[in-house]
Structure 1
Amino acid sequence: MTWIILGIIAVIVLWFILTYNGFVNLRNRVENAWAQIDVQLKRRYDLIPNLVNTVKGYAAHEREIFEKLGELRAKAMGAESVKEVGDTNNQITQALRTLFAVAENYPELKANENFLKLQEELTNTENKIAFARQFYNDVVMQYNAAQQRIPASIVAKMMGLTPKEYYPVDEGERGPINVQF
C-alpha cells in the first residue's frame, strides 16, 4: 500500500514538474516573440526620421504630417503595454500611408533614389512586423490556452500566471476592402 501511495505521489510530482516547465517554456517563447516585434519596431523607428528628412526636402510645407510622425514615434518608443505599443504603431502606419500619399504629388521625389530605397526598406520592415506580430499572437494563444486547460490551470494559478495580451490589429484593417477596377 505504501508503494502505491509513493507511486501516486511520484506521478503527481512528475506531472507538476513537467507542467511547470511547460509554462516556463511557453512564457519564454512569448517573451522571445515580443522581443522579435521590438527589434522590427526599432528598425521602423530608425527609418522614419530618414524618410521624413528625405520627403521634407521636396514637400517642406507638409509640416503637419512630419510633426505627427515625430510625436507618434516618440510615443511608441515610450509605450509600455502591448496594447499601447500596438495602438501607437497602428497610428504610425496610418501616418506613413498619408506621407506616401503626399509623396505621390511630387514626381521628383518618387524618382529620388534615397526615397525609393527608404520606401522599400520600410515596406520590408512592415512585412517583418506583420510576421512577428502573427507569430507573437500565435504563441500568446498557446500560452493562454495552456493556462486554461484542466488540470494545468491549477499549476498556472499556483505560479500566479495571467493571460498575455494579443498584439492589436488596426481597426481599419478589419473592415471590408474596397476594390475598384
Structure 2
Amino acid sequence: MNIFGFYLNITLLLWILAGIITFVLLFLWNRYNTFVSGRNKVKTDFADIDVQLRRRASLIENLVAIVREYAKHEKTTFSDVAKARAALEKPHGPKDSARADNMLTSALKSLFAVSEDYPDLLASKNYQDLQADIKEIESLIAKYREEYNQTILDFNTKIQTFPNLLAASLFNFQEEELFEAGSEGKQEVKLAAV
C-alpha cells in the first residue's frame, strides 16, 4: 500500500464520519425544533382552556349576584362559589385547573339547585342571559379540553417513540399532563333544567 492509498482511505473515512456527524446534528436540530413547537402548542391550548375557565368564573360571579338578591340566606352556596373562583385565580397547571374547574362545576350545580326554589329568579332576563352565556362557555371548555388533550397525546407520543426519545432525553423534554375532569367535571351541568 502506498502513501497515496493511505491518505485516500483516511480522507474517505473522514468524509464518512463528517457525513454521519452532520446527519446526527441535523436530526437533533429537527427534533429539538419539533419538540419546542409541540410544547408551545401545549401551552397555547392550555391558555385557551384557562381563558374560558376565567370567563365562566366571571359569569358565575354575576350569576351569584343575581341569585343573592333572591336567596339571601344561601351563604354556603355563595361561599363555595367564591372559594372555587379564588382557586382559579392562583397560578396553576392542568391538574390545579382541573381541580378548580371541578370545584366550580360543583358550586354551579348547587347554585342552580338553589335557583329552582325562586320562580321569579328563573324568569329574570338577566338570569336567563347569564345561563345561556354559561352554557356556551361550557361547550367551548369541552371543545378546548378535547383539543388540549389531543395535543398532549401527540406531543407525548412524539417524545416517547424511538428515535425521538433519545433526542427528548438529551434536551430534557418531559411528558405533559392531560386535563382530566374529576367526577364532578365529567357530569354535565344541567342548564336546560333550570
Does TM, scored on the shorter chain, surpass 0.5?
A: yes
Q: Structure 1 residue 82 and structure 2 residue 94: aligned?
A: yes
The amino acid of 1:71's aligned partner reads K
Question: 1:19 touches 1:155 (CA, 8 Å); kept in 2?
Answer: yes
What's the % identity of the aligned pairs?
Answer: 35
Match of 1:127 in 2: 139
Taking the aligned partners of 1:51 and 1:156, their CA distance within structure 2 comes to 46
List per-residue Cα deviations over 1:135-181 (Å, max 9, x = no partner). Answer: 11111111111111111111111111111111122224668xxxxxx
The 5 A counterparts of 1:7-18 are: 7-18=19-30
Gaps of 5+ in 1: 176-181
Match of 2:9 in 1: none
Taking the aligned partners of 2:124 and 2:47, their CA distance within structure 1 comes to 34
Q: Structure 1 residue 163 and structure 2 residue 170: aligned?
A: no
Match of 2:54 in 1: 42
Question: 1:79 touches 1:85 (CA, 8 Å); kept in 2?
Answer: no
Q: Structure 1 residue 26 and structure 2 residue 38: aligned?
A: yes
Greater mean alpha carbon deviation, residues 118-127 or residues 166-175 = 166-175
- Measure how far apart 1:81 and its partner are: 2.8
Question: 2:67 touches 2:115 (CA, 8 Å); kept in 1?
Answer: yes
Taking the aligned partners of 1:99 and 1:17, their CA distance within structure 2 comes to 53
List per-residue Cα deviations over 1:55-107 (Å, max 9, x = no partner). Answer: 11111111110111001111221152321110121121011012112212211
Match of 2:156 in 1: 144
Query: Residue 57 of structure 1: SS of its match in structure 2?
Result: helix
Match of 2:125 in 1: 113
Query: Residue 165 of structure 1: SS of its match in structure 2?
Result: coil
Gaps of 5+ in 2: 1-11, 188-194
Q: In 2 relative to 1, CA 113–174 (structure 1 residues): closer, same or farther, beyond 3 Å?
A: closer
The alignment covers a number of residue pairs equal to 175
Match of 2:6 in 1: none
Question: 1:40 touches 1:125 (CA, 8 Å); kept in 2?
Answer: yes
List per-residue Cα deviations over 1:26-73 (Å, max 9, x = no partner). Answer: 001001001111111121121121100001111111111011100111
CA-based RMSD of the aligned residues comes to: 1.5
- Measure how far apart 1:133 and its partner are: 1.0
Greater mean alpha carbon deviation, residues 1-10 or residues 20-29 = 1-10
Q: Answer with 1 or 2: which has the greater Rg.
A: 2
